[in-house]
């Protein structure tokens, strides 16, 4: 029972391309797809568009009405970037959600990861197609290799893989530095010193925030009210720092790589696995007519073997990829040294070794599956590797406990 049978060069290329294209078209046009089936999307409130930026009186009324609108909102989507905790408007809306005790409804969406996931998945798709072209053993491919030269094709293959690894590492390293800067900004955030184009808006924003506090009591002097309002804003700032850190960890995960973007990045690998799994099961069905009908136990064993030799290498590759991504995203930004070229190179080598280990594990499992008779201890080894990979992924993507709002 082999993992990649003799018909492998005829399977997986165009089906994988079609599945990849359908996935990203559905992802980009999700609102149009939902509208096709009569489902309306969520009502989105954008402060820059929905608040009058010309008429001063209407602008003040709109700013003061933002807390009421946010109180009726289901979710606050914050675009995760360097400007998230610097601008007055984003801090105002985040403070409002914290003051209303709805921190668990804050969802952070990275600004960099969607295009990065698309780019990585496209590079992975091209790399798989290139690998399948090199693996073909028909006459046309041999003529192409003889015309280009075997050394040339091997050099191009190595350079393409190194270039893709370097691209992924640079994207992850930039994302890690952004996360590290914002993590530091969380402990220093203060709405009273946030950046604002018009200084007059700051007083209106503070006035709207103070209206949410129960410390503003009537029948007091102006100085007493001002002291109480400043104390309320200071307490809200301290509360916001702790609650925002919990919201970021809950949205981004402990490894700062959300699972949905990981799945989008490896979508070509998932499509390739499903293509070969379907082709393998179909080939078993066709060859079953040439011999005696197999028993139910033999059929289940064949299906389990096909599934194991296709899913196991994918799980191990994902595990080694996350381990290699841990270096530029978590480890290097947390180092006390400055971001030097030497440190950058060491991190790239460590990540490259992890990703090469994933590639070697993929090749090893494929060679195990090509045997005519697979020993039982090979299945035990695959099962142990799968358990370790699943445990590691569950540890990295374990759910974060929702904080208790005061």
Q: Which residues contact 71 (CB under 8 A, 6 or more apart)?
A: 100
Q: In terms of C-beta density within 10 A (0-12 exposed, 13-18 middle, 19 or more buried), how is residue 219 classed?
A: exposed
Instruction: Identify the DSSP state of 51.
Output: S
Q: What are phi and psi of 80, to 5 degrees?
A: -80, 110
Position 268 scores a pLDDT of 82
- 63-66: list long-range contacts, CB under 8 Å, 24+ apart: 63/201, 63/204, 63/205, 63/208, 64/204, 64/207, 64/208, 64/211, 66/92, 66/93, 66/96, 66/208
State how far the Cα of 301 lies from the Cα of 381, in Å rounded to an integer: 16
State how far the Cα of 11 lies from the Cα of 132, in Å rounded to an integer: 9
Position 349 scores a pLDDT of 93
* Residue 94 pLDDT > 90: no
Q: What percent of the chain has pLDDT over 90?
A: 3
pLDDT-based confidence at residue 5 (cuts at 50, 70, 90): very low
Our CA dihedral for 18, 22, 23, 28, rounded to 10 degrees, sits at 140
Question: Comparing C-alpha atoms, which of 92, 55, 112 is closest to residue 258?
Answer: 112
* Residue 187 pLDDT > 50: yes
Region 125-144: mean pLDDT is 66
Position 215 scores a pLDDT of 44
- Cβ 209 vs Cβ 233: under 8 Å: yes
Our CA dihedral for 209, 213, 219, 222, rounded to 10 degrees, sits at -40
Position 257 scores a pLDDT of 85
């Amino acid at each position: 029972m082999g993992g990649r049978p003799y018909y492998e060069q005829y399977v997986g290329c165009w089906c994988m391309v079609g599945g990849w294209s359908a996935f990203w078209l559905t992802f980009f046009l999700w609102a149009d797809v939902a509208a096709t089936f009569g489902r309306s999307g969520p009502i989105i409130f954008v402060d820059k568009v929905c608040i009058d930026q010309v008429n001063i009186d209407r602008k003040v009324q709109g700013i003061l009405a933002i807390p009421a609108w946010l109180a009726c909102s289901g979710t606050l989507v914050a675009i995760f970037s360097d400007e998230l905790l610097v601008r007055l408007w984003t801090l105002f809306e985040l403070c409002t959600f914290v003051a209303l005790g709805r921190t668990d409804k804050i969802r952070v969406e990275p600004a960099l990861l969607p295009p990065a996931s698309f780019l990585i998945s496209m590079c992975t798709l091209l790399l798989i197609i290139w690998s399948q072209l090199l693996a073909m053993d028909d006459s046309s491919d041999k003529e192409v290799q003889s015309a280009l030269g075997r050394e040339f094709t091997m050099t191009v293959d190595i350079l393409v893989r190194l270039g893709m690894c370097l691209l992924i590492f640079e994207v992850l390293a930039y994302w890690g530095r952004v996360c590290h800067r914002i993590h530091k900004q969380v402990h220093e955030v203060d709405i009273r010193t946030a950046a604002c184009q018009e200084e007059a808006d700051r007083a209106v924003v503070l006035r709207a925030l103070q209206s949410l506090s129960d410390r503003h009591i009537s029948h007091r002097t102006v100085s007493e009210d001002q002291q109480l309002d400043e104390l309320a804003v200071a307490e809200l700032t301290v509360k916001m720092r702790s609650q925002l850190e919990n919201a970021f960890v809950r949205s981004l995960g402990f490894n700062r790589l959300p699972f949905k973007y990981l799945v989008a990045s490896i979508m070509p690998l998932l499509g390739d696995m499903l293509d070969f799994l379907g082709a393998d099961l179909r080939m078993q069905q066709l060859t079953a007519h040439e011999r005696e009908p197999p028993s139910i136990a033999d059929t289940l064993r064949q299906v389990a073997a096909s599934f194991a030799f296709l899913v196991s290498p994918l799980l191990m590759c994902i595990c080694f990829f996350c381990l290699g991504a841990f270096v530029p995203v978590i480890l290097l930004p947390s180092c006390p040294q400055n971001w030097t070229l030497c440190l950058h190179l060491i991190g790239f080598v460590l990540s490259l070794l992890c990703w090469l280990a994933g590639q070697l594990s993929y090749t090893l499992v494929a060679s195990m599956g090509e045997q005519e008779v697979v020993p039982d201890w090979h299945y035990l080894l695959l099962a142990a590797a799968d358990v370790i990979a699943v445990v590691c992924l569950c540890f990295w993507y374990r759910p974060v406990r929702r904080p208790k709002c005061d």
